């Protein structure tokens, strides 16, 4: 299955945050959207980085002043991205190998068109396996 299929079901909304925002703002935005990561972007289309709950925890390890740090100071600037045509199996390997839980999806112009999480990938794969199981069961019982 391609990422475009996942995005057609889950939607193309991507929660973003400005690089100038504070870690406090970041924590509030993560809570507001109920997500584990935000794409860092000045315009909602071009990716400057990605920031996750783990980054918030690391910032807070420095004490209360961590809440005042800028998102740009804690974000991951080199973001692993994928195209809508990428396959779920391919992404499972990338996410496991690179130890990432969120991958922004970009179009041919490099603009943000969606995001997938490891949860989206696992759910999709489980759905595929369930369909496959049902087909095999039907084949066996009809023979």
- pLDDT confidence of residue 142: 87
Provide the terminal-to-terminal Cα distance of the chain, rounded to the nearest Å.
29
Tell me how many domains the chain contains: 1
Domain of 58, CATH number, reads 3.10.580.10
- pLDDT confidence of residue 143: 66
Tell me, yes or no, if the pTM score tops 0.85.
yes
Q: Would residue 113 be called left, alpha or beta, if left means φ above 0 and alpha means ψ between -120 and 50 degrees?
A: alpha
Residue-range definition of the domain harbouring residue 108: 3-142
Q: What is the mean pLDDT of each run of 10 residues along the chain (143 residues)?
A: 92 96 97 97 97 96 93 97 95 94 96 95 89 89 80
| Cβ count within 10 A of residue 120 | 20
- pLDDT confidence of residue 131: 87
């Amino acid at each position: 299955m391609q990422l475009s299929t996942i995005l057609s079901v889950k939607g193309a909304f991507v929660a973003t945050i400005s690089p100038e925002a504070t870690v406090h703002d970041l924590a509030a935005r993560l809570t507001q959207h109920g997500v584990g990561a935000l794409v860092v972007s000045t315009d909602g289309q071009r990716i400057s980085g990605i920031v996750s709950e783990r980054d918030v925890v690391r910032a807070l390890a420095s004490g209360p002043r961590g809440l005042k740090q800028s998102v740009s100071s804690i974000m991951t600037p080199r973001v692993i991205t994928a195209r809508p045509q990428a396959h779920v199996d391919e992404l499972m390997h990338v996410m496991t190998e690179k130890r990432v839980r969120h991958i922004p999806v970009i179009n041919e112009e490099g603009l943000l068109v969606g995001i997938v999480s490891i949860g989206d990938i696992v759910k999709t794969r489980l759905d595929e396996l369930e369909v496959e199981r049902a087909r095999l069961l039907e084949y066996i019982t009809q023979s």
